[in-house]
Structure 1
Amino acid sequence: MQSKYKIRLLRANLLAAAVALALWTPATPPAAALVLWLSVGWLFITALILDFSHRHSRGLPWQIVPGALLLGLIASAPERHSILIWAWAAMLMLPQNNWVAAFNLSATLISFVMVAPLLDGPAFILLICSLLVLGLLALSRAQQLIDMNGSIRQRLRLIPGLNLWAGEQLLRDISREQTRCEREGVHAELFILHIKRHQLWPTAQKLCELTYDFENVYRLSSTTLVTLILARSPKEASQRRSLLLADLPDNITSEHLELIDIEPATLSVCEISKLPAERVRETI
């Protein structure tokens, strides 16, 4: 099925922007040329490795790089690159964390100050008004994208074909599994894994492959995975945990909690992720 996210079109746009900046380098002052080539390199590399996924976090530190490069281009040669001030509207349209948006807004104001001496009064007022309107529209669009991506991440089944579910599904499953364990005399545990953010999706996929079809895996946060382990006895459950950890990255930390000890009616997804830590503190 053809991707509806237009990755090829976005990649083509990034490459076109890289070519345009490269053609801008002749007769450019050395400082401005350096920033231009850094920008060309960043656009080119980004276009090559670009891949859409709603799983990518909008708070990653690399999001500050394009804003810093854009500010550097304007600061290095305002008289040559003043037209790039319009690119700030596109920067503000990207889904981003609050601190990245604050940086981009501050950089936009700094760009205004550097470009102001090159414009007369009416032109500067028109520029401010136009960019203010475009900036508000861009921030509104960014918020829509953030809300949309958030709703995507909260889908119950996160990866088609795998038993990977959102944390909200865990709240529904706990009551059902508690009833079944009491009825059938099965031992059940929540096996909670704390991982690095960049390891979340590979580890989740691996965990889905290692667990049985009737044992779901749940994503509680960007650094926490949970699976329901069903076994005949606590000893067998302990052996299952050891086997799972042996096939997962070494830097993962884990905790477990017997399912019978949980009161699902009074818990949220966030509280479930904190249960093991609280339990450890109580036993110290």
Structure 2
Amino acid sequence: MQSKYKIRLLRANLLAAAVALALWTPATPPAAALVLWLSVGWLFITALMLDFSHRRSRGLPWQMVPGVLLLSLIAAAPERHGILIWAWAALMMLPQSSWVAAFNLSAALISSVMIAPLLDGSEFILLICALLILGLLALSSAQQLIDMNGSIRHRLRLIPGLNLWAAEQLVRDISREQTRCEREGVHAEVFILHVKRHQLWPTAQKLCELTYDFENVYRLDSTTLATLMLSRSPKEAAQRRNQLLADLPDNIHSEHLELINIDPATLSVFEMSKLPTEQVQETI
């Protein structure tokens, strides 16, 4: 996945940008130097921690960090960092929520006002026109990525090769498995796990590895996973739950529902993800 999405190339670009800013610090005023080093640190840390995923939320507040740093760089020394105003077009190409896009547009206009005294009237008008055109093109490109990523996020199978499915598939599977359980006398449960947001995808992959091939795992929301477990008896189901929890992070909260007691017409996936949870304290 990483090579497919050119993660190494993006990481190299971020590191190159960090080095370029670091080389820009000599003979820089103290305020501007502080912002430069903050920017270098942010680029360096981002490059080291970079991990592509189309599942990341585009509305997280951290998306404002590069915009704030860029605006601060220009404000600290407009005569020295004015050329960075063209970086706003690159920022606006990133998939982002509407309020982040509005912030970036506003900050770009503020940045242009800051460097206006360095330009004559015609140059300033040309700068504004060029920024607006590039900004609109960048936002259009970002919207295409948002639409594409949205369609990917809503695929039923979320990770090719793993039995990880979207919540919509759970609704279909509940009805099918209820019929099979009644016919074959099998005990089935929906085992619900509540995890921290950053643990969701590693836990989902681990859960897929721990369950049988014919048992699916479902992502109910950004902090909730579920799996349909089939066992011969309630006692065996309890043993399997303990075994699964023993191999998963200790801070997971869990809940289980017997499949026969679920009415898909009245209990939605959203309600399942919001069921009261209890800290896992079972003896394993």
Asked if Structure 1 and Structure 2 have the same fold, meaning a TM-score greater than 0.5 normalized by the shorter chain, the answer is: yes
Aligned equivalents of 1:176 and 1:217: distance in 2? 15
Q: Which residue type is aligned with residue 26 of structure 2?
A: P
1:35 CA displacement? 1.4
Shift of 1:2: 8.4
Secondary structure of 1:112's counterpart equals helix
1:262 aligns with 262
State the match for 1:66 in structure 2: 66
Q: Paired residue for 2:29?
A: 29
Change in Cα spacing, 1:12 to 1:250, as seen in structure 2 (3 Å) is closer
Number of the residue aligned with 2:280: none
Residue aligning to 2:251:
251
Query: 1:42 and 1:273 mapped to 2: Cα distance?
Result: 35
1:154-210 residue CA offsets vs partner (Å, 9 max, x unmatched): 223222332212222212211211110110111211111111100001111221222
- Residue correspondences, number: 277
- Which whole-Å CA distance do the structure 2 matches of 1:203 and 1:2 have between them? 19
Specify the alignment match of 1:54 in structure 2: 54
C-alpha root-mean-square deviation of aligned residues, in Å?
Answer: 2.4
1:1-284 alignment, distance < 5 Å: 3-264=3-264, 269-274=269-274, 276-277=275-276
Secondary structure, in 3 states, of the residue corresponding to 2:39? helix
Query: Residue type matched to 2:62 in 1?
Result: W
Could you list the runs of 5+ residues in structure 2 that have no partner in the other structure?
278-284
SS in 1 for 2:149: helix
Secondary structure in structure 2 of the residue aligned to 1:74: helix
70-79 vs 11-20, greater mean Cα deviation: 11-20
Which whole-Å CA distance do the structure 2 matches of 1:198 and 1:147 have between them?
23
- Over the matched positions of the two proteins, sequence identity in percent amounts to 86
CA distance in 1, matches of 2:109, 2:252: 43
Residues 221-256 of structure 1 show CA distances to partners (whole Å, capped at 9, x for unaligned) of 111101001122333323322332232222221222
Cα distance in 2 for partners of 1:167, 1:226 equals 9
Distance (Å, rounded) in 2 between the aligned partners of 1:109 and 1:132: 9
Amino acid at match of 1:96: Q
CA distance in 2, matches of 1:6, 1:209: 27
Structure 2 Cα separation of the partners of residues 234 and 4 of structure 1:
44
The alignment partner of 2:189 has SS state of strand
Unaligned runs of 5+ in 1: 279-284
Greater CA deviation, 260-269 or 78-87?
A: 260-269
Query: Do 2:2 and 2:8's aligned partners in 1 also have CA atoms closer than 8 Å?
Result: no
In 2, the alpha carbon distance for the partners of 1:213 and 1:241 equals: 16
Judged with a 3 Å threshold, the aligned counterparts in structure 2 of structure 1 residues 9 and 247 are, in CA distance, closer, same or farther, namely: closer
> Which amino acid in the other structure matches residue 148 of structure 2?
M
Maintained 8 Å contact 2:171/2:264: yes
Question: 1:226/1:2 Cα in 2 relative to 1: closer, same or farther (>3 Å)?
Answer: closer
Structure 1 SS opposite 2:58? coil
CA offsets 1:53-103 (integer angstroms, 9 cap, x no match):
223333333322211211110010011111111111111111123443333
Greater helix fraction, Structure 1 or Structure 2: 1
**SS of 1:248 mapped into structure 2:** coil
- Alpha-carbon shift at residue 41 of structure 1 (Å): 2.6
Supply the distance in 2 between the matched residues of 1:2 and 1:232 (Cα, whole angstroms). 41
Between the aligned partners of 1:251 and 1:155, the Cα distance in structure 2 is: 29
CA shift at 1:277, angstroms? 4.4
The separation in 1 between residues aligned to 2:93 and 2:116, in whole angstroms, is: 24
- C-alpha contact (below 8 Å) 2:194/2:223 kept by paired residues: yes
